[in-house]
Chain A
Amino acid sequence: MELLLASLIGVLTAVGIYLMLRLRTFPVILGLTFISYAVNLFIFASGRLVVNAAPIIGTGDAYADPLPQALVLTAIVISFGMTAVLMILAIAGHLEAGHDRVNMDQPEDRP
């Protein structure tokens, strides 16, 4: 379980960073989304991994920490909203400039 989650976070982060370093806005947005997935899993894991336990004290021998779940919800909502804003900006930039390259100084550069 721990190994699975840790490697999942690692793979998501690696994919996210690779995509983020591309020169077109769409892969960059995808990369940021992957990174935010990795971060969400990481926050979730910060409350320790407990299987088959309710997030309420007194319902069993073990209990899951409810706070990281609340934090993760906040983080998901915020990253979702931010991705939407970035998407709108990217579309506006694409419509105005006619291409979706990220770099500003040399428009003739290939991605």
Chain B
Amino acid sequence: MGHWIIVLVVLPAMVAGLMVLAMRGDLVLQRVASVAAILTLNAIAWALLWSATVQGPEAYFLGDWPAPFGIVLMLDRLSALMLVLLAGLALAVVLYAIGSGWDGRGAHFHALLMFLLMGIGGAFLTGDAFNLFVFFEVLLIASYGLMVHGGGGERTRAGIQYVAFNLVGSSVFLIALALVYAVTGTLNLADLAEKLPALPKGDMALIRVSAVLLLAVFAIKGALVPLQFWLPGTYAHAPGVVAAMFAVMTKIGAYATLRFGTLVFPPDLPATGDLVGTLVLPAALVTLVVGAVGVLGATTLPRLVAFAGIGSMGTVFLAIAAFTPQATAAALYYMIHSTLATAALFLVADLVTRRRSHAGLREVGPAIAQAGLIAALFMAAAIALAGLPPLSGFIGKLLVLDAFRAEMGLVWPVVLGSSFLMILGFARAGSRLFWSPAATDPAPHPVEGLAFCATFALIAGLAVLTLLAGPITDWLSATAEALYDPAATIAANRLGQEG
């Protein structure tokens, strides 16, 4: 696909710059530019997906410096899939932000969203470990701005905790990268994959340390227990539309774990062995339980959704931890599903909280306008996230359970039990919100058709994921197979060849 790979990083950056410099203060122009840019990103992401499927992995050499000396962007089926997911979610989020008026409550919403897309897209594309750090920082600094968008004391103070926590994560990431460089002398992922198997015995301990540190960083991003405690406060205090966009940010942790666990530290590497899987598996099980109990105990609707998001990350990490092609295909399917479902539920939560004076679930609230439609959307998203048929959460959990037939005794009760707790929590929240409001007439609220359309589009995405589950899982299985046979990906980097 030639230079189209870099466009995914450059285009949002250019549009964001234009917005800040030339469209300052003109919200309509910003909206048009934002939607146009995201539509273009969608088109390019689908084209890249097609290219990665037909032509196989491809590397883009920035400045035409040969790897491992220059920086490479690496396009394969997994990164193309994540890009399509990102672009699709961004479209729904930007439409919701326009429809609900969130983007007008503070300056620079669209510019920050563009920088966030640049950072996330770059993180999915990069083939260089240090560049992954740089793109993490790009997306984090944009997310700090989005997190406190709209202002307010509580939100700012939650933002400080979020920033401080992630700064610590960045420091740990840098230490891990320095260790990798000190031992191997390279940071190119494909080059690492070639050099690590031949590592002398004396250096193995250092690589194990850096593998665990990297895992800790990805666990922070992916909200894996015991590093999940930043998430509920952050997501519950962030604007609802921003929280929906953040649904894809936790997936970066899962993506990076999968990328490093298959390419750099594969299970047959003598230095680390099955270290990554052994550490992630129990953490993922505890994450599932914490998420489910959190859903049951949450006192506000945004917190409930945040804990449901944590629980779904537990399922994703659980499937990744097995490190078999079958389980990885299940993880990818559940990852798509969980991104769409969590985002949809955050948007529903925002629809509800903007129509109520408070977001509490403990006390009976006032009746809300358009309650029937919102209740239907809430039910669809809750069914999907809890894993009930007919939506894709059921198929996703089925695939995960199927991949764990060997460890049925441990994994199945946790997955099924946590699903049950989630169903209880959602049912309690739904009946409290929609069935037992105070007997006053609802305060009038504008309908905001675009906001409803955006929420409905995410649910429709879940329905498509369910209806096309057969072809999609076939494609995902091929993707997972390619991850465990990275020879083509490594060859695309043309190591040791000039130009």
Contacts and interface: CB of A to CB of B under 8 A. Distances in A.
A43 B157 contact: no
Interface string A53-95: 0000000000000011001001100110111011001101100
Contact of A102 (B134, B161, B167): B161
A47 interface: yes
Interface string B72-107: 000000000000000000000000000000000000
B369 interface: no
Report the interface size class on chain A: 35 or more
Given A89-B144, A92-B156, A102-B160, A68 B181 contact: yes
A109 interface: no
Q: What 3 pairs between A and B have smallest CB-CB spacing?
A: A46-B182, A96-B153, A46-B178
A92 to B, nearest CB: 5
A104 B162 CA distance: 12
Nearest to B144: A85
Contacts of A93: 153, 156-157, 159-160
A82 B171 contact: no
Nearest to B145: A85
Contact of A42 (B141, B156, B175, B233): B175
Contact of B171 (A35, A46, A48, A81): A35
B187 to A, nearest CB: 8
A28 interface: yes
A39 interface: yes
Given A43-B177, A45-B182, 14 more contacts: A35-B168, A36-B167, A36-B171, A39-B171, A39-B174, A42-B175, A46-B178, A46-B179, A68-B181, A79-B170, A85-B141, A97-B156, A102-B160, A104-B157
A68 B185 CA distance: 10
B156 A89 contact: yes
Nearest to B179: A46
A67 B140 CA distance: 24
Contact of A71 (B130, B153, B154, B168): B130
B137 interface: yes
A32 to B, nearest CB: 5
A43 B173 CA distance: 11
A43 B164 contact: no
B141 A89 contact: no
B158 interface: yes
Contacts of A89: 144, 148, 156, 159-160, 163
18 contacts: A32-B167, A32-B168, A39-B171, A42-B175, A43-B177, A46-B181, A71-B181, A78-B170, A82-B140, A82-B141, A82-B167, A86-B163, A86-B164, A92-B148, A93-B157, A102-B161, A102-B164, A104-B154
A83 B134 CA distance: 16
B164 A32 contact: yes
A67 B191 CA distance: 16
Report the interface size class on chain B: 20 to 34
Interface of A: 20, 25, 28-29, 32, 35-36, 38-39, 42-43, 45-48, 67-68, 71, 74-75, 78-79, 81-83, 85-86, 89-90, 92-93, 96-97, 102, 104
Contacts of A45: 178, 182
A68 B182 CA distance: 9
A49 B154 CA distance: 47
B178 A68 contact: yes
A39 B144 CA distance: 22
Contact of A43 (B151, B156, B160, B178): B178
Contacts of A48: 182
B175 A90 contact: no
B485 to A, nearest CB: 30
Contacts of A82: 137, 140-141, 163, 167, 170
Contacts of B144: 85, 89
Nearest to A86: B163
A29 B140 CA distance: 17
A104 B237 CA distance: 11
Given A43-B178, A46-B181, A89-B163, A78 B134 contact: yes
Nearest to A83: B167
